[in-house]
Amino acid sequence: MENQDARGNPPSPRLRWTSQLKYVEFLFIMSGYMNPLSLQDLQKKAYKELLDAMIMALEKGEMTAEDSKTSSRKIMRNLDGIESSTELLLFLQDLSNKYPGYKGVFVKFKQEETAYKDNVKLAAVQAKLQKLTGISSP
């Protein structure tokens, strides 16, 4: 029966908790938190986010037209040559240090990377706990 274990006992609270964790993990996977974008997708996203940030900074007067031209050249010259997500973060950090209008883009990418790494660590801990307890999810 579904509501009993192999010995005929009702499922333990720990089993229900483990099943709930698996469901939460499934939701993370389906929402994209545990499915990282490819580097090419990250670069495309960075282009879009940087353009949006530039337009907003220009409209608010937080960036001059000259700064937007200079930063655009820097973005076009460097973004496609980036070879890792770490290198992308370093580029965005450097760009945001020189042009404060891009700070939000760096912060957003950093937060997404941190959330992804945290979820990978959480999944690893859950797998270890599951292995230690010998309880497998249905």
Has residue 30 been placed in a domain? yes
- What pLDDT is recorded for position 95? 97
Range of the domain at 113: 12-138
Has residue 7 been placed in a domain? no
Please provide the DSSP assignment of 8-67 as one string: SPPPPHHHHHHHHHHHHHHHHHHHTTTSPPPHHHHHHHHHHHHHHHHHHHHHHTSS-HHH
pLDDT digits (tens, 9 = 90+) for 93-131: 999 999 999 999 999 999 988 888 888 888 888 888 887
Q: What is the number of structural domains in the chain?
A: 1
- What pLDDT is recorded for position 43? 93
State pTM to two decimals: 0.65
Has residue 2 been placed in a domain? no
Has residue 5 been placed in a domain? no
pLDDT digits (tens, 9 = 90+) for 3-57: 555 566 665 555 444 454 454 555 454 444 444 678 899 999 999 999 999 999 9
- What pLDDT is recorded for position 60? 95
- What pLDDT is recorded for position 5? 55
Has residue 127 been placed in a domain? yes
Has residue 6 been placed in a domain? no
